Chains A and B, each alone.
Chain A
Amino acid sequence: MEGLTESFYNTFEAWGLPLFVPQLIVMLAVATAVLIFTAVSVMFMVWWERKISAHIQVRFGPMRVGGWHGWAQSIADGLKLLLKEDIIPAGADRLVFALAPMVVFAASLAAFVIIPFGPGLIAGDLNIGVLFYISISSLTVVGIIMAGWSSNNKYSVLGAIRSAAQAVSYEVPLVLSVIGVIMTVGSMSMTRIVEAQEGMWFVVPQLLGFLIYLTAAIAECNRTPFDIPEAESELVAGFHVEYSGMRFAIFFLAEYANMFVVSAIATTLFLGGWHGPLLPGWLWFLLKTYFIIFVMMWLRWTLARLRVDQLMNLGWKFLLPLALLNMGITGLILVLKDY
């Protein structure tokens, strides 16, 4: 890859163009590749979730579109959403309303920068890798609040406020659960973290951290049992009530992309990333990531939604102390190991 971009730069230099032109072209190419991967992956995940939910409820789910088990259902749905009329409610704040889905999607997409799909297969191996994800994911909440407020609808505002409260509460255990891994490795770079799991996956020594991370991550994704921001039975659909067509599709895309990111980071931090026998690294990485996505879907169609107070209690009185405990134990072991 390095040599390829290098020769690409040289060609442009020979043409007498400034350096930033080929640099921008490479950036755009990588971004487009990520975007296409996200779109295809999300379409697969939507179909997969419908199939899983159907089988859990003893149904078949989509069976007709495309022939084999309705595999083309998501493509058909996507096309439908693209072709629908773009409706902005009369009382809405037009600019913020239009901007909100983009902010949410940009935040989900930006997180793909630090996902190590395989050895060297990473868009940017930042030395603050994990921290980058944690900080960029907080942008999603801003987008959700923008969507909820600009819709000028009480249900959306309620959904947005709930979402903000939930995200702020669960970000704390999420960050603290990851710290155990960072302490063990001594680096926040995603590549270094995966390399450190050559012998043993961190899910073994950091089991508590993994479970806390998974719980907090599901809450960050606003998925059942933590889906009170969009609880259908009380808030219609939460912050995106007023969204339809393409803009709704972007929210949907962002939600599933977020799920992928969260699972990919769980794979990187706890499940050994690309390590695994026989199969190539990137395939192992995708298999593990989709396994965690499957677990998230499984939980969604098995558990009931928590109440707001239960949600807050779980986050602050249960997960947070446990995460601190995990951090303390990890630190103690690290110190004792040195003696």
Chain B
Amino acid sequence: MTVTHVVFFLMAAFTVGASLLVVLAKNIVHCAIALVFAFFGVAALFVLLDAEFLAAAQVLLYVGGITILLLFAIMLTSRISAGGVKIMNEQVGISAVVVLAIVGLLAYANLKGFPALVPPLTMADNTASIGKLLLTTYVLPFEVVSLLLLAAMVGAIILARREREKD
């Protein structure tokens, strides 16, 4: 048992705990804050898998970007943050089916063993490899995604503008 194992079990427990809090916390701001910790735990698991770039991107985008915007939106709608919100809705049954399906899939994959899913890493610096692959082999999908994000950004700006004109 090395320190990697200790860290893995600590971070796994941390991530699961935080995720549970995301779903079960009564206060929606608590949910959002727990989400930050859940994302952080996932990033730590990425580090243990030698996927440093993915971990850094995870923290930068999800913790630094998305959850902050989420918290922002929640804080600006103070009526929700004041009291408790309903944490269950009518979709409990469907979600249970989805969760069971995913658990089954994961259990099956685990029993089969992961080698087919995750080939062992051979390169020394996978950050550089990701960069090279994104700009050579996968340059077309990469550019398409960039264009899509740009369109989304322009769309968001137009939506925000229109609202202001109405006022």
Could you list which residues of chain A lie within 8 angstroms of chain B, going by C-beta atoms?
18-20, 23-24, 27, 93, 96, 99, 126-128, 131-132, 134-139, 141-142, 145-146, 149, 157, 160-161, 164-165, 167-168, 171, 187-188
Known pairs A96-B33, A164-B68, A168-B68; A24 contacts B6 (CB<8 A): yes
Per-residue interface assignment for chain B, residues 41 to 82, with 1 indicating a CB less than 8 Å from any chain A CB and 0 otherwise: 000000000001101111110011101110110011000010
- 15 more contacts with CB within 8 A, not counting A93-B29, A135-B57, are A18-B1, A19-B2, A23-B3, A128-B56, A131-B57, A135-B59, A139-B64, A142-B33, A142-B63, A142-B71, A149-B71, A149-B75, A161-B75, A161-B76, A167-B68
9 tightest Cβ-Cβ pairs between the two chains A and B: A138-B64, A135-B60, A135-B59, A23-B3, A20-B3, A131-B56, A135-B56, A128-B52, A145-B71
Q: How far is A283 from B68 in the complex, measured between Cα atoms in Å?
A: 38
Which A residues lie within 8 Å of B36 (CB)?
A: 139, 142
Q: List the A side residues contacting B59 at CB < 8 Å.
A: 135-136, 138-139
**Chain A nearest CB, measured from B96 CB (Å):** 29
Complex: A136 Cα to B6 Cα, angstroms:
22
| Cβ-defined contact, A168 with B53, below 8 A | no
Q: Could you tell me if A19 and B67 are in contact, using CB atoms closer than 8 angstroms?
A: no
Within the complex, the shortest CB–CB distance from B128 to chain A, in Å, comes to: 8
Q: Pick the contact of B68: A132, A141, A188 (CB < 8 A).
A: A141
The residue in chain B whose Cβ has the minimal distance to the Cβ of A186 is B128
**Contact partners of A99 in chain B: CB under 8 A:** 33
> A154 to chain B: closest CB distance in Å?
10
B161 at the A interface (CB under 8 A): no
Are A19 and B3 in contact, with the CB atoms below 8 A? yes
The reply to whether the CB of B127 lies closer than 8 angstroms to some CB of chain A is: yes
Contact B33 A27 (CB under 8 A): no
Chain B contacts for A127, CB-based, 8 A: 52, 125, 127-128
Cβ-neighbour of A141 out of B27, B33, B64 (below 8 A): B64
Q: In the complex where A135-B57, A161-B75 touch, is A171 in contact with B64 (Cβ < 8 A)?
A: yes
Contact among B27, B29, B53, B65 with A131 in the assembled complex (CB-CB below 8 Å): B53
A50–B68 alpha-carbon span in the complex (Å): 33
Interchain CB contact under 8 A, B65 and A188: no
Complex contact A96–B30 (CB within 8 A): yes
**Contact across chains for B67 and A142 when beta carbons are under 8 A apart:** yes
- Select from chain B the residue with minimum beta-carbon distance to A145: B71
Q: How far is the CA of A256 from the CA of B81 in the complex (A)?
A: 32
Bound form: Cα–Cα A171–B69 in Å: 14
Chain B residues with CB below 8 A from A141, complex form: 64, 68
B31 to chain A, nearest CB (A): 12
Q: A residues within 8 A CB of B164?
A: none
Please report the C-alpha to C-alpha distance between residue A67 and residue B128 in the assembled complex, in whole angstroms: 55
A161 to B73: give the CA distance in the assembly, Å: 10
